[in-house]
Chains A and B, each alone.
Chain A
Amino acid sequence: MSGLSAGRSNLDEFSETLLNLAKADRDIVVLTSDSRGSGRLTSFGTALPNQIIEMGIAEQNLVGVAAGLAAAGKKVFAVSPACFLTARALEQIKNDVAYSDHPVKLIGISAGVSYGALGTTHHSLHDYAALRAIHNMTVIAPADNHETHAAISAALTYPTPVYIRMGKKPMTTLHSPGTIFEIGKAITVREGSDVTFVATGETVYPAFLAAQQLETEGLSCRVISMHTVKPLDSDTLLNSAQKTRALVTIEEHSIFGGMGEACASVLMKHRINLPFQIVGIPDEYTITGSQSEIFDYYGISALGLAATARSLLEREGAR
């Protein structure tokens, strides 16, 4: 349940969590691709110089070496910008990590459109689609500091490979400290009976704001944090779809092949037909701007999501 408070970036939360875990477990090894600063790992490097290995700007080698270290029993966190990690090194992820079954923890930093105006080369809007299609991969996008801390801790002991992506903007903490996080189990941020917002990663917060806005208009909105994109929590999705009149999915990803299409597939398979819309980045050259400007432009905002919800309900009412 929600307990809103100002937080820091998920990236900062990740680096401190990892440092604390690594102090207690000398088998934890962090690999970077000239990404020590952008991964907020400078203090990690100072505190634990023997547990961080620089691989240079060479993502393919980063992931291959990570697999080799994991094969030797190391608990490896391979940290690199999500855009490069999941595109440049996709074959290493597919073959050396997933197919060879080495439980490497792939950390995609500055994910989605976090790099904003740096442009498409630096955006990762394909990573859910690419990694969902690879057997033996788990895909996670934490919504806030609480989920980030829990996801990193859970990944450490998870027996199979995990990809966790996060942004660098300070996040509002949605969850109270005791909220249970389990890989593959969505968190219901708030209950509601009119519309369900199923959001993942940094889009959960705007969905939450939209739900608050709609509440003032007399609409009851449920917000689900689908932090694990794969395996998808079908039970929570189906339960929410059956208890509300419309469903909106939100993700910082292409509308193709991501969490929204994963939800659509589950709903169709179970013959659940309700007004439904996937909100994400459309199939076009992404507009130039900061992450929040890009979010606003594509309707990943309180305003935009409230409008989407209203129009879905209107469509439902017209039937």
Chain B
Amino acid sequence: MEIQELKRRSIRYRKTVLRIIKHANAGHTAGSLSCVDILNVLYNRVMNINPDNFKDPNRDHYIQSKGHSVEALYVVLADKGFYPESELDTLNCFQSHFVGHPTRKVNGIEHNTGALGHGLSVSVGLALAAKKDGQPHRIFTLLGDGELAEGSSWEALMAALHYRLDNLVIIIDRNTLQITGRTEEVMGLEPLVEKFTAFGCAVQTCDGNSIEELVHVFDQLPFEKDKPNLVYARTVKGKGISFMEDVAQWHHKVPNTTEFEAALHELEAAEATL
């Protein structure tokens, strides 16, 4: 998919994310807005995953370790044709399979996440299996920055280098906020790029809310032979809605009607400039 169309999708996805969160009266608003451009580029340009090949083990794989940003994933999967978008009106409702964190009951989702620090280990397992079987497909996994305080993430990173998993693509959604506040105030992570480099990753940094930069970085895959690929995506939590951007309270705040309409107005204005 070309850049202009990807940009249009990002705006459309943001609208739908806000709509379903408002409808469900629950959701992880700002985190979904932070990573939605990454998911857009991955599913519409980079990864070989669609409803027709989903049962084929040799397609690309995607594991969302930061499971709480599930609304962005649900919206992108609906757009890919895994299910009708109207089903998302049942999000978080009694007996719905659209739970507040990813589950395999939803077509298109590969692994149940939600507890943090799990996705990278599972992705390492998938990448090891692909290597053992000589399969060329790749495993993509999206990690939040807050979850990097989980030690299991670093256990998995050690294994990724040890087994030279250059078929693994780790994306860090570096929005610098977690539920309580700044990551650096809750539990300091920096110097993060240096840490990933020291753990043996081939690191590329970019603006994770810029379609052009994301496309440019992912077009360079694989980055380096024998090294896990790591895309360090600097993002803004709540991106695209001025009053939500970089505000910790929007972690799982639901917009009221006034806020929702103001947000839609901003997105429509952005759409008009494309």
Residues of A whose CB lies within 8 Å of any CB of B are: 29, 50, 53, 55-56, 58, 60-61, 63-74, 91-92, 95-96, 99-101
Contacts and interface: CB of A to CB of B under 8 A. Distances in A.
B112 interface: yes
Contacts, number: 98
B129 A96 contact: no
A278 to B, nearest CB: 33
Contacts of A91: 115, 118
Contacts of B152: 58, 60-61, 64, 92
B30 to A, nearest CB: 24
B128 A65 contact: yes
Contacts of B155: 56, 58, 60-61
Contacts of A95: 112-115, 118
Contact of A65 (B112, B121, B133, B151): B121
Nearest to B150: A60
A10 B205 CA distance: 51
B129 A69 contact: yes
Given A60-B152, A60-B155, A72 B125 contact: yes
Contacts of B118: 64, 91-92, 95-96
Nearest to A26: B132
B124 A64 contact: yes
B148 interface: no
A68 B123 contact: yes
Contact of A101 (B104, B120, B156): B104
A67 B122 contact: yes
Among A29, A55, A66, find the residue whose CB has the most chain B CB atoms closer than 10 A. A55
A92 B111 CA distance: 12
Contacts of A60: 117, 121, 151-152, 155
Which 10 residue pairs of A and B lie closest in terms of their CB atoms, listed nearest first? Answer: A68-B125, A64-B121, A72-B129, A61-B155, A58-B155, A65-B125, A68-B122, A60-B152, A69-B125, A100-B112
Contact of B156 (A65, A71, A74): A65
A101 B123 CA distance: 16
B136 interface: no
Contacts of A56: 155, 158-159, 162
